[in-house]
């Protein structure tokens, strides 16, 4: 399940902004209460997969999966660090969206599923394109 796709950064930029839009919408009252706590984290990791794919354009899908998942885990673990300077950053809108506020084990599960979804989506898309040629 290791594929080295030809990624188009313009398309990936569009995908990233689309996921950001869904992520912001996920914080509305229209989302069922049962998935509300997890949907934002899932979409965050899904977006992070595509940001990593954008940054590492020529790397394999598996490499992007590992780097994006570990990056999300690192950011979540960083929430255990509560120095005043980083708490100040987290109290800004952008800092809150990027760094979050409190460590939760359930977030790691949501991140794992989000990154795997990005990986599978990209893998299936490019695999179908290869077979179509």
Which residue, among 33, 39, 56, has the nearest Cα to 117 in the 3D structure? 39
Could you read off the pLDDT of 19-69 as tens digits, one per residue? 999 988 888 888 888 888 899 999 999 999 999 999 999 999 999 999 999
Q: Which of 99, 4, 112, 92 is nearest to 49 (CA)?
A: 112
Tell me the pLDDT band of 132, cut-offs 50, 70 and 90.
low
| Cβ proximity of 63 and 118 under 8 Å | no
Q: With cut-offs at 50, 70 and 90, classify the pLDDT of residue 131.
A: low
Please state the rounded mean pLDDT for residues 76-104. Answer: 89
Percent of the chain with pLDDT over 70: 95
Q: Spell out the residues 6+ positions from residue 60 whose beta carbon is closer than 8 angstroms to its own.
A: 2, 3, 4
Q: Per the structure block, which two tokens stand in for 33?
A: 């209460």
For position 1, what pLDDT does the model report? Answer: 64
Mean pLDDT score across all residues of the chain: 90
Pick from 69, 20, 86: nearest CA to 47: 20
Quickly count: other Cβ atoms within 10 Å of residue 39's Cβ.
19
CA distances for 12 relative to 1, 20, 23, 46, 54, angstroms: 21, 12, 16, 12, 6
Determine the Cα angle at 55 with ends 95 and 17, to 5°.
Answer: 55
Band of pLDDT at residue 3, cut at 50, 70 and 90: confident
Read off the pLDDT band of 116 (50, 70, 90): very high
């Amino acid at each position: 399940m290791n594929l080295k796709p030809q990624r188009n950064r313009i398309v990936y930029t569009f995908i990233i902004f689309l996921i950001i839009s869904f992520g912001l919408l996920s914080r509305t009252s229209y989302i069922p209460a049962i998935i509300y706590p997890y949907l934002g984290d899932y979409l965050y990791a899904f977006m992070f997969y595509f940001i990593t794919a954008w940054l590492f354009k020529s790397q394999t899908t598996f490499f992007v999966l590992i780097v994006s998942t570990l990056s999300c885990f690192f950011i979540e673990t960083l929430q255990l660090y509560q120095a005043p300077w980083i708490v100040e950053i987290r109290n800004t809108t952008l800092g809150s969206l990027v760094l979050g506020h409190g460590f939760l084990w359930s977030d790691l599960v949501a991140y794992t599923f989000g990154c795997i979804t990005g990986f599978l989506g990209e893998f299936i898309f490019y695999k179908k394109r290869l077979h179509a040629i």
